[in-house]
Chains A and B, each alone.
Chain A
Amino acid sequence: MNLRLRRIHLPLSAFALELDLSITCRATGIFGASGAGKTSLLDLVAGLRRPESAYIELDGEIFTDTERRIAVPPHRRRIGYVPQDGALFPHLTVRENLRYGFDLIPVDGRRISFEQVTRVLEIEALLDRRIDFLSGGEKRRVACGRALLAQPRLLLLDEPLAGLDGGLKSRFMPYLLRLRDEFEIPILYVTHEAGELVELCEEVVIIDRGRCIAQGAVADLFVERMERRHELRSPAKPEL
């Protein structure tokens, strides 16, 4: 994967998101405190927000170029987006949620099958349930499955573990690892928990008040510190 973000400028309430970076890893963490601009970054990649200036390119295809007035609409980007609360459609069943994007893909373009996703995420038993009858962890799995079934080229996960308690978190992580390994779709993983990054990601981009303050291998930026301090308490920033 090659995601290039150039001359990004998006005014937020207290500061502006200003970035210039390339992301090439299979699983990249976007790390930073709450309100640092992480979700806004995902929104830009998905095409849900209009930046003042930006050049965004994924694997050679230009998504956004404000100079040439290019803005590929979100429905043609094929970016899987799992927002923080999952944002499942409350009027549809689990099955209908999962099929929402899947049914829009021509049959010969469906590389990821319905059965594969429900098996890997273990949601076969939930298919006919209504959304209000799902637990927090189940909701997130369904939201991941729904994004995967739309056959995305890149998956954006916005704090998929936020709000889950400790036990649920550790039970949910294996699903994310399976998702990363089975479907071979590059992942951008937003979090403010260093521990999650170490488990899932190879590279990390650290964002603070809208700016990238570090980018590098998770091992270099986090693991040493974690060994030193046993645990990095987020949202502390590593010394650079």
Chain B
Amino acid sequence: MDAEAWRIIWFTLAVALASTALILAPAVALAWMLARREWRGKSLVETIVSLPLVLPPVAVGLLLLKLLGRRGIVGGFLHDTFALDIVFTWKAVLIALAVMSFPLAVRGARLAFEEVNPRLEQVARTLGATRWRVFWTITLPLGWRGIMGGALLAFARALGEFGATILVAGNIPGHTTTLSLAIYRNVELGNDDAAFRFMLWSVIFAFATVWTSELFFARRRRLA
């Protein structure tokens, strides 16, 4: 394994971790809104959030490219105001991973919140706790295993993302190449050994992550 290979592995882990950290709080907040409140447009938001699960990843990538490119609404604004370019940088990788794994984090947290007996939250209210306090002292501690399980699945999804990333961030060695992009490049170039090594790393990471998330979910089921 050369330095470049290690770099790719570290970059993949770091950017997947960053994307999970980035989406965790919004995912938990949205999951709570979906599990506990009734509001107009709820099913629409639910559908939009789930779209990355079923859309072709390249379609999401294309959409992000149009949005974040210099001539896109968001990208144009960022370029003109902050001289900030997103597309074909590590920031584009981060955003692609975040968008693609967001639905999994929301789903995990939502299921976790739905499993918390609302009666417990109601009793906590009668004991003098505000809604905010109830969330921090009852809902979140009782749901955290499910939230963690969902976050780990989101992390696993981010580790393996390919289609959206390659469109919006390209496959620029030393800049935006992740594990899955490296596999693709090496297969294309005929470096089967290198491709195989990267594939093994992917399997190791995916296995460890999904297995850990299953532990969280299983323990939650036992408690419930």
Q: A90-B142, A91-B141, A91-B142 are in contact. Are A77 and B119 (CB under 8 A)?
A: no
- CB–CB A100/B126 < 8 A: no
B46 to chain A, nearest CB (A): 24
Digitize A22-45: 1 where CB-to-B-CB distance is under 8 Å, 0 elsewhere: 000000000000000000000100
- Chain B contacts of A90 at CB under 8 A? 120, 142, 223
A80: interface (CB < 8 Å): yes
Q: A87-B119, A89-B120, A91-B142 are in contact. Are A104 and B126 (CB under 8 A)?
A: no
- Chain A contacts of B120 at CB under 8 A? 87, 89-90
Q: A89-B138, A90-B142 are in contact. Are A104 and B119 (CB under 8 A)?
A: no
B187 to chain A, nearest CB (A): 49
Other-chain residue from B117, B130, B137 in contact with A87 (beta carbon distance below 8 A): B117
Other-chain residue from B125, B137, B138, B141 in contact with A74 (beta carbon distance below 8 A): B125
30 interchain pairs (CB within 8 A)? A47-B126, A48-B125, A48-B126, A73-B130, A74-B122, A75-B126, A75-B127, A75-B128, A75-B131, A81-B122, A83-B119, A83-B123, A87-B117, A87-B119, A87-B120, A87-B122, A89-B120, A89-B124, A90-B120, A90-B142, A90-B223, A91-B142, A100-B129, A101-B128, A101-B129, A104-B127, A104-B128, A104-B129, A105-B128, A150-B127
Chain A interface category by residue count: 20 to 34
Contact residues, A172-228 vs B (CB, 8 A):
none
Q: A90-B142, A91-B142 are in contact. Are A101 and B117 (CB under 8 A)?
A: no
Digitize B72-94: 1 where CB-to-A-CB distance is under 8 Å, 0 elsewhere: 00000000000000000000000
- Chain A contacts of B130 at CB under 8 A? 73, 75
- CB–CB B126/A79 < 8 A: yes
A147: interface (CB < 8 Å): yes
A81 to chain B, nearest CB (A): 4
A9: interface (CB < 8 Å): no
Shortest 9 CB-CB contacts between residues of A and residues of B: A101-B127, A74-B125, A104-B128, A81-B126, A150-B127, A87-B123, A87-B119, A48-B122, A101-B128
- Chain B contacts of A91 at CB under 8 A? 141-142
- Chain B contacts of A75 at CB under 8 A? 125-131
Q: Which residue of B lies closest to A86 (CB)?
A: B123
Q: Which residue of B lies closest to A143 (CB)?
A: B123
Q: Which of A's residues lie within 8 Å of B, judged by CB? A: 43, 46-48, 73-81, 83, 85, 87, 89-91, 100-101, 104-105, 146-147, 150
- Chain A contacts of B142 at CB under 8 A? 90-91
- CB–CB B117/A74 < 8 A: no
Q: Which residue of A lies closest to B137 (CB)?
A: A100
Please, how many angstroms separate the alpha-carbon atoms of A77 and B117 in the complex? 22
Please, how many angstroms separate the alpha-carbon atoms of A176 and B119 in the complex? 22
> 12 additional contacts, CB 8 Å, given A75-B130, A89-B124, A100-B124?
A43-B122, A46-B122, A46-B126, A73-B125, A73-B130, A76-B128, A87-B119, A87-B122, A100-B129, A104-B127, A104-B128, A147-B127
